[in-house]
Structure 1
């Protein structure tokens, strides 16, 4: 099984740049990150330190988020955020640069919360333009933009797989962008009440990426009641060939005990 460790939610007892090596020591060959910098356009020295932490650890960067704003404060993406479009476009170039240097081709674009005083239609129009721009930028390195339903964010409008797929279809129809795919996070979909098994049956071959955590609690596999093993196996049977990202909360000491 090709697992990838999300080093933004796991191994957090360690400094961020030590986590790729810790993932390697735990037996994994791939890692992914939410946006790991404070700014959309970090300095060259910051970029170099981040990239060296991955290459020195001998792991593959399998996924990277575009800047999603201040996540601890509740932000969930810049894609539809009126007033920060130029910042998102600048970030796209940085993300594509990292991907090109490290061989990463999967890039998660969180859609953004609904804004007071801005119509959903206006936000959706901006999102379509920004997603198309991101898709064009990463297409040059063979990359794919991922769009993700999210739970636990009351103002985030994409809750189900169909919500995300409608956006993807709109961008494809309006701009011709073909390299935008669904990020199927089984935890988020389940918590939001989606029929995960049905989503897998209809769309597994089209998944751009899979992330897992158990529910309730967003813990490691086996700490809740989700049939994660069955869902992963069925996705594989139906044609999904990518990584399975471990995006759950678990202390460092027991983070990967479930593999035994």
Structure 2
């Protein structure tokens, strides 16, 4: 589960224990310091200790992307200070992930900027993604590339699975490392009008991580039209063996909502 959206009624350092008490032993996070790509070591150590003490495994970590949600804007394709912040974050985030055995780093692309040639942003994004892939490779991790949805993030250029997978392929071609993969966010794809069965069938092999929220609404499973059990089964049948992470906005206290939505938790984190 994503502790940047779930259990937000609690301070960050209390969320891992709450997740463990609810029966979840694997968690993911957006970069927890949205205004600081390189926070003081004490802050990193406190979060590491909280995750370790709770017995929760960190299975996914967003690289620096500024303050989320937004609409999600990312940082790696934004010229100037934001790109420099993204680069400054790479060794810090990679070392933090490695210290917890986390092997998936997610890089949000970044919104289009008015008055900036998209080709300039695309070239900068590829350059920064190559750096991120190398940072991930150093710790034995994957780099993830995510598609969002145009209704909520209209300035974000990656709004289809095809576009995100094609970009991951370009990064792999540039690095020769083969460690960049698609982050399949089923909510964003559904919100953008994609046929999820088709996306799964065509792109499961290129997928390194999956996230889920129900659609519409980005709520808990059972609050919208998506069938998580059927989608999880289709992912497994297509050969995907990784995590399916809950990344939804709870409508109330997280623990009670989880108990109603997930009496069994074998396939989700």
Q: CA deviation at 1:202?
A: 1.0
Which position in structure 1 is the counterpart of 2:89?
Answer: 91
CA apart distance, 1:169: 2.0
Matches within 5 A, 1:218-233: 218-233=218-233
Partner of 1:28: 24
Structure 1 residue runs of 5 or longer lacking an equivalent are none
Deviation for aligned residue 1:86: 2.2
The match for 2:248 is 248
Deviations 1:202-231 (A, max 9, x none): 111221100011111111111111122111
- Cα offsets for 1:96-142 (capped at 9, x unmatched): 10111100010110000001221111111111111111111110111
After TM superposition, the score normalised by the length of structure 2 is 0.92
Match of 1:9 in 2: 5
TM-score by length of 1: 0.95
**Partners of 2:243 and 2:125 in 1: CA distance:** 26
Rate the CA distance shift 1:73–1:222 in 2: closer, same or farther, 3 A. closer
| SS in structure 1 at match of 2:182 | strand
Structure 2 gap ranges (5+): 264-269
CA contact (8 A) 1:206 1:240 kept: no
Is 1:80 the equivalent of 2:77? Answer: yes
Q: How many pairs were matched up? A: 256
Map of 1:203-218 to 2, 5 A cutoff?
Answer: 203-218=203-218
Structure 2 distance, partners of 1:239, 1:98, is 30
Distance 1:258 1:236, change over 3 A: same
1:134-163 Cα deviation digits (max 9, x unpaired): 111110111011111112111111111011
Q: CA RMSD in A?
A: 1.3
1:253, CA displacement in angstroms? 4.5
